[in-house]
Amino acid sequence: MLTPEAVDAYLHRMGTKRPERATGAALRELHERHVLSIPFENIDFNLRLPVNIGAGAIPKITEQRRGGGCYELNGAFSEVLRALGYDVTVMAGRVLENGELGPLMGHLILRVIAEDSPEPWLVDVGYGRGFRHPLRLDSRAPQEDPQGTFELKGAPDGDIDVYRNGSHQYRFEPRPRVVDDFRPTLWWFQNSADSPFLTQLFCTRPTAEGRVTLSGRKLVRVADGQRTKEELPDDAAVFDAYRTYFGFELDALPHPPAAPAAG
């Protein structure tokens, strides 16, 4: 169990305060603040730095004011939600990459029950194009969200598919897992030549007006439906962009992975 000080530091990082009760409305607020405040990024993978999961990722998020991938963000958020009184179950998913489902245990998501309702929520603050508010896990009707229209559909073997605006995002299995179950796949993400965390570089978060994304020297901003793309001139400008748009300092810059050779 996290200390009250650790929970408060995490909530401060999100720009919010401890809710009085672990209600569905509070969960909605917490989810939105997390998504808008803490970026989805894979910088440490490309810098070949250690990547922690679950509670081990909390100091990176609170002290370094960084973001992370799903193992870090959803893993850390699960511990915070438990400390606040929510019933949290970790689940595993497979993200769709290039038209195919990725590795088993490739995505960590959460099933959360609030104290004022027995209906479970799907919580995911560790997916780049995910939902801003929790989704009703038991509903198969379209669910409107500031990030799009989401829909959960039944899949083979009791799994569940997540769609955004009609596009398949990932598939997950509703059975319970624990954070340590994901460590072998984390090793694969850190070391495999096929790992999307090593073949891509990204730091992105939605904003109230749209989205901001930085990859190498390419800065893309979307505001009120208008998209602007800027090629930053040098390393100093990249350091400044991380500071300005994502609120953290880096000691070294990650560089975009080299394009695979044709053949």
17-32 pLDDT, tens digit per residue, is 999 999 999 999 999 9
> Residue range 173-197: average pLDDT?
95
pTM surpassing 0.85? yes
Spatial CA neighbour of 260 closest among 188, 199, 201: 199
DSSP 3-state of 9: helix
* Per-residue confidence (pLDDT) for residue 125, from 0 to 100: 98
> Residue range 114-123: average pLDDT?
96
Which residues, at least 6 apart from 234, have a Cβ–Cβ distance to it below 8 Å? Answer: none
The phi, psi pair for 225, rounded to 5°, reads 85, -5
* Per-residue confidence (pLDDT) for residue 260, from 0 to 100: 46
- Strand intervals (E) in 52-142: 87-97, 100-101, 107-113, 121-123, 135-136
252-261 pLDDT, tens digit per residue, is 998 877 654 4
Torsion sign across C-alpha atoms 45, 65, 133, 229: negative
Spatial CA neighbour of 146 closest among 35, 16, 23, 11: 35
> Residue range 236-258: average pLDDT?
93
> Residue range 96-107: average pLDDT?
93
The C-alpha atoms of residue 232 and residue 217 are separated, in whole angstroms, by: 5
